[in-house]
């Protein structure tokens, strides 16, 4: 009669023997490991051109405002740097002129060219003036660059 009262789980272990709990724990651990292995792949989406260009454009303006001219110059396109040496670039910058800059909008009309709208603030005769600036950014060899207009 005792044998009739004992029952087995689907894996063949007797109830109360602890095997069922061990198997359940192993299954749970395996499921967690599978989920933990891919959180970034599920949660991160590829960054779009607009986001990358906005980040680089803001970095250029932050460098100009902080007087880190070599950092700003590195974001200029290779073609821009060919026609304007670093020394000429430094001479063209009015250090301390810009007070703030914020990228407000990025519009990419093609896969390799974007227009950026930046709101800059500068000091003029003791007053802060806010004005929009339009920039062109191009992608060459997978990297986005600022294009200096003449």
Domain boundaries, the chain: 2-43, 49-147
Distance between CA atoms of residues 38 and 40, nearest Å: 6
> Sorting pLDDT into bands at 50, 70 and 90, what band is 56?
very high
Distance CA 20, CA 7 (A): 12
Backbone angles phi, psi at 66, to 5 degrees: -85, 5
First to last CA, the chain: 98
Whether the CB-CB separation of 53 and 114 falls below 8 Å is answered with: yes
Please give the pLDDT value at position 133: 97
Q: How far apart are CA 70 and CA 150, in angstroms?
A: 20
Q: What is the pLDDT of residue 8?
A: 44
DSSP-assigned letter for residue 17: S
- Per-residue pLDDT, averaged over 128-134, amounts to 96
What percentage of the chain exceeds 70 in pLDDT?
69
- Is the CATH code 3.10.450.100 the one for domain 49-147? yes
CA distance 143 to 75: 10
Q: Assign 44 a pLDDT band (cuts: 50, 70, 90).
A: low
Per residue in 57-110, pLDDT (tens digit) is 999 999 999 999 999 999 999 999 999 999 999 999 999 899 999 999 999 999
Task: Give dist(CA 104, CA 29) in Å, integer.
Answer: 47
pLDDT band at 149 (very low <50, low <70, confident <90, very high): confident
Let me know: does 54 contact 66? Beta carbons within 8 Å.
no
Edge-to-edge order in the sheet of strand 98-110: 98-110, 113-124, 127-140, 143-147
How far, CA to CA in Å, does 91 sit from each of 20, 62, 84, 85, 102?
Answer: 77, 18, 11, 10, 24
pLDDT greater at residue 63 or residue 30? 63
């Amino acid at each position: 009669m005792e044998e009739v009262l004992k029952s087995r789980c689907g894996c063949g272990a007797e109830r109360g023997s602890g095997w069922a709990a061990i198997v359940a724990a192993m299954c749970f651990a395996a499921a967690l490991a599978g989920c933990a292995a891919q959180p970034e792949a599920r949660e991160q989406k590829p960054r779009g051109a607009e986001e990358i260009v906005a980040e680089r454009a803001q970095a250029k303006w932050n460098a100009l405002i902080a007087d880190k001219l070599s950092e700003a110059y590195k974001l200029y396109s290779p073609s821009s740097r060919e026609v304007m040496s670093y020394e000429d670039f430094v001479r063209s910058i009015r250090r301390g002129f810009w007070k703030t800059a914020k990228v407000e909008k990025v519009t990419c009309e093609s896969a390799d060219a974007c227009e950026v709208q930046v709101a800059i603030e500068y000091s003029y005769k003791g007053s802060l003036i806010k004005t929009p600036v339009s920039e062109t950014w191009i992608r060459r060899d997978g990297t986005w660059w600022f294009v200096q207009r003449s």
